[in-house]
Structure 1
Amino acid sequence: MQIREDFKEIISEIQENNKEFKMSPRDFLAYFHCSKRTKGNTGRIDNFLESKRIETIPNYINVWIDGELTLKHKPKAKSKTEPDPIQRISILPSANRTPVTTTRDAKLTDAITKMMMHNYSQLPVLSNPKSIVGFITWESIGCAITNGVTTELVKDYLNFEYTILEYDTPLLKAIKTVIEKEYVIVQKKDKSFSGIITLADVSSQFLTLTEPFLLLEEIENLIRLLLDDKFLIQELIDFCKNENDDKSIETIDDLTFGQYIRLVEKPENWEKLKLKIERVTFIKQLNVVREIRNDIMHFDPEGITSEQKQALINMAKFLTDIRKFH
């Protein structure tokens, strides 16, 4: 379709820079060398807009000829993923917990007291708020005493081998480093120390992330056992076809979690399970689990809420109890 040269520049700005342009329908039609919204004109204009993935808000056909419309790119699907897709150690609570520290010239008893009070195995020893000289640990204290050190100052019990990680270090890299070194100190761009990450912190974070997956696996396995040997393979194939799903079905495991729910939602299918529980209540809670499952599969490093985790624990226990009598 023939368009004016100046309109080509507008189209380019919209496509390349996502700009928006306001104009009247009359001016808009003029770009196409048209003055009226006849069926033929609008058909050609619509095809052009579709090919360029551009739209008018509101639709130019329905607006007063001298009213106002906005010419813009059609909405683009956005991802919920943050601009930085890499998980960083900055998401760990321990990386954001200002470390308890001591100094070279502090008394050994001061360091020991702090370690005992906070249940720490190590303390960073600083010369100033942004400069570290080493760590004092139960191991370094024991090693020094074993070798005859009897002084009362922290500086004589130091471990000078330590690792500093930047606040934006990728989480996976940090975990590998912590496993190797047992602990690291985290430093921000302004050189201040924001926290200490230990093996215990990594283990806690690992549990936070993996426990929901293990609970979900337990729940799904228990559901499969409830469905086991209750349906013909052809029944499952027909069920999937009714959902416009042509996947190959050979076992119960080939169904999705959502399909488990939709399968037993049907009264005639529910009867085959011979369960002495309330179907509607059971289905409702399965849908709660399904929603939690969706959250888990999107991998949120902060994990799920305590309420969500408890819902999974309760469902796993419930299904286990049902299996005892099924």
Structure 2
Amino acid sequence: MVRPVAEETPTDPGARTMHLIGGRRVTVSDLQAAGLLPAGTRLRFDRKRIGTSFEATVTDQGRIRLDAGGEEFRSPSRAAAVAAGMRAVDGWRAWQLAGQDRLLDSVRQDFLDQAIATVAADRRNATRQCVHERLRRARGNADGGTPERVSVRDLLALWGAADRGEQVGRIEADLANHGLVTSPNFRAVTLDTVVALSTPPDDEAATAEPATAEDRPVTGDDEGDTDLDVRLTVGNLSPLRGVESVAPNSTLDEAVTKMQLNDYSQLAVLNGPRNLRGAVTWRSIALVARQRSAGTVAEAIDPHVELVTYDRDLVEVLPLLRQREFVFVADESRSIAGIVTTADVARHFGVLATPFFQLGEIDQTLRWVLGRAMDIGTVRRLCTRAVRGFDDLTLGDYQRILENKEAWDALGWPLDRPSFIARLDEIRLIRNKVMHFHPDPMPENVVDTLRRFTNLLHHYREPA
């Protein structure tokens, strides 16, 4: 695992280049500005499967102008999709420089190498260099047919991230700049799910690339770089590690034993990894047992089961879960790779909601304490913004108020004010992160920090 190094604001030209592309996708304009793709360069997109070619020209504004129709696009993927009438294409690997048999993606890689070489000796950019080298190596392995596999947690750690929060946009841009995608999509699975760093499929199969604004059908302006993706998916709840299953010709004794050993209420009935025959449940076993002595799973199969893809919106699946109590989950290869139950949903939302409710309790307790210890006039004087009453106060306001010694003394607490304020500031930052509502639960130490602070407030609130 690469140890992340703190970044600082770059000052030299090369560093400015790396800072510029950090967090966004490289554009044709970037290549043009670097002298790697002059205006007038001719491009060609060959669809060998159907024997058709499309041609275009790089304009002075760093856009791709299609010969047929004259439409211009900043995104190579949009240009290729419109030219070929396809839903989505990885344009960087579709367009090649006419007469050179060289992909536009190769020019992009030269741009990245050139930019990183300029700042290689500057330790302030060590993180960017490490990421570049790591992804360049992964791209080589993917091109060689042996894509690297890594857990989402370890992938995020390359950027110094512990969850899919603020750095997701940067991570997606860096992967895209190196011509890589994760399979399955790292956004739509659990942190411990293992993903492959691979290249998007060629030509018609390119629709497998994670959806972004540049890969969607063109309806107007093509200036957007990325798509907003803040969904909670089925895969965020279920690790894609396979499911416990039985075959239709298995004995009921085998099914019951596996269910009891694992404390399961149901098992998948499979004829191969992609052929879901149904499920065997305690209910289906009981129904058969009342009628006759069943010997095999086939006699107790409940065929009315639901199969959903891992990247399906969880909100869309909730009605199915209420009705069926569980759904099976398919991975990107359509293999049965997981199961989500109503208990999983309740547990996940409980984990996500715990810090939210803890913060609410801290907020209300501090408001109650200050309301008993001082009047609203004092509060307004100490706040740096206009507040109408105690109900308008935020964690930042509490911090500013209690930084005042007289206000602190009014509480009568035998506590160290700087230590208390430092912890309150830490909780303010936790609150900001919680309110971003990304799908990853808070680390356990965060929940413990909130719990201990709540307990302290409960202990000292009465003397106020």
Matched, 1:305 2:443: yes
SS of residue paired to 1:98? coil
2:252 to 82, 98, 108: 108
SS of residue paired to 1:314? helix
1:296 to 426, 434, 450: 434
SS of residue paired to 1:229? helix
CA contact (8 A) 1:228 1:252 kept: yes
How far has the Cα of 1:135 moved from its partner?
0.5
The normalised TM-score by structure 1 is 0.72
Equivalent position of 1:67 in the other structure:
none
2:321 to 161, 178, 184: 178
Rate the CA distance shift 1:95–1:17 in 2: closer, same or farther, 3 A: same
How far has the Cα of 1:163 moved from its partner?
0.4
Equivalent position of 1:154 in the other structure:
297
Amino acid corresponding to residue 90 of structure 1 in structure 2: G
CA contact (8 A) 1:97 1:196 kept: no
CA contact (8 A) 2:240 2:331 kept: no
Amino acid corresponding to residue 126 of structure 1 in structure 2: L
Matched, 1:239 2:382: yes
1:205 to 348, 358, 381: 348
1:21 to 33, 51, 54: 33
2:262 to 118, 137, 141: 118
Q: d(CA) in 1 for partners of 2:426 and 2:389?
A: 25
How far has the Cα of 1:300 moved from its partner?
2.5
1:141 to 285, 301, 318: 285
SS of residue paired to 1:105? coil
CA contact (8 A) 2:363 2:395 kept: yes
Amino acid corresponding to residue 195 of structure 1 in structure 2: G
CA contact (8 A) 2:329 2:337 kept: yes
Q: d(CA) in 1 for partners of 2:314 and 2:294?
A: 40
Matched, 1:262 2:262: no
Higher helix share: 1
1:89 to 234, 240, 243: 234
Rate the CA distance shift 1:325–1:270 in 2: closer, same or farther, 3 A: closer
SS of residue paired to 2:428? helix
How far has the Cα of 1:267 moved from its partner?
0.7
User: Which stretch of structure 1 is more off in the superposition, 126-135 or 250-259?
Assistant: 250-259
How far has the Cα of 1:325 moved from its partner?
4.1
How far has the Cα of 1:96 moved from its partner?
2.0
The normalised TM-score by structure 2 is 0.51
CA contact (8 A) 2:255 2:297 kept: yes
Unaligned runs of 5+ in 2: 1-26, 36-165, 170-226
Q: d(CA) in 2 for partners of 1:177 and 1:221?
A: 37
Equivalent position of 2:389 in the other structure:
251
Q: d(CA) in 1 for partners of 2:233 and 2:29?
A: 31
**Number of residue pairs the alignment of both structures matches:** 249
CA contact (8 A) 1:95 1:167 kept: no
2:274 to 107, 130, 138: 130
How far has the Cα of 1:81 moved from its partner?
5.5
Q: d(CA) in 1 for partners of 2:239 and 2:318?
A: 12
CA contact (8 A) 1:134 1:158 kept: yes
Equivalent position of 1:58 in the other structure:
none
Q: d(CA) in 2 for partners of 1:122 and 1:159?
A: 10
Deviations along 1:125-149, one digit per CA (max 9) or x if unpaired, are: 0111110111000011111112x22
Q: d(CA) in 2 for partners of 1:106 and 1:139?
A: 18
Q: d(CA) in 2 for partners of 1:111 and 1:211?
A: 36
CA contact (8 A) 1:178 1:198 kept: yes
Unaligned runs of 5+ in 1: 1-15, 24-78
Q: d(CA) in 1 for partners of 2:407 and 2:28?
A: 54
Q: d(CA) in 2 for partners of 1:318 and 1:195?
A: 42
Rate the CA distance shift 1:239–1:18 in 2: closer, same or farther, 3 A: farther
User: Which stretch of structure 1 is more off in the superposition, 275-284 or 304-313?
Assistant: 275-284
Matched, 1:224 2:367: yes
SS of residue paired to 1:96? coil
Moved over 6 A (4+): none
How far has the Cα of 1:152 moved from its partner?
1.2
CA contact (8 A) 1:105 1:153 kept: yes
How far has the Cα of 1:231 moved from its partner?
2.8
Structure number with bigger Rg:
1
SS of residue paired to 1:162? coil
Amino acid corresponding to residue 395 of structure 2 in structure 1: F
| Seq. identity, % | 29
How far has the Cα of 1:174 moved from its partner?
2.3
Q: d(CA) in 1 for partners of 2:463 and 2:240?
A: 49
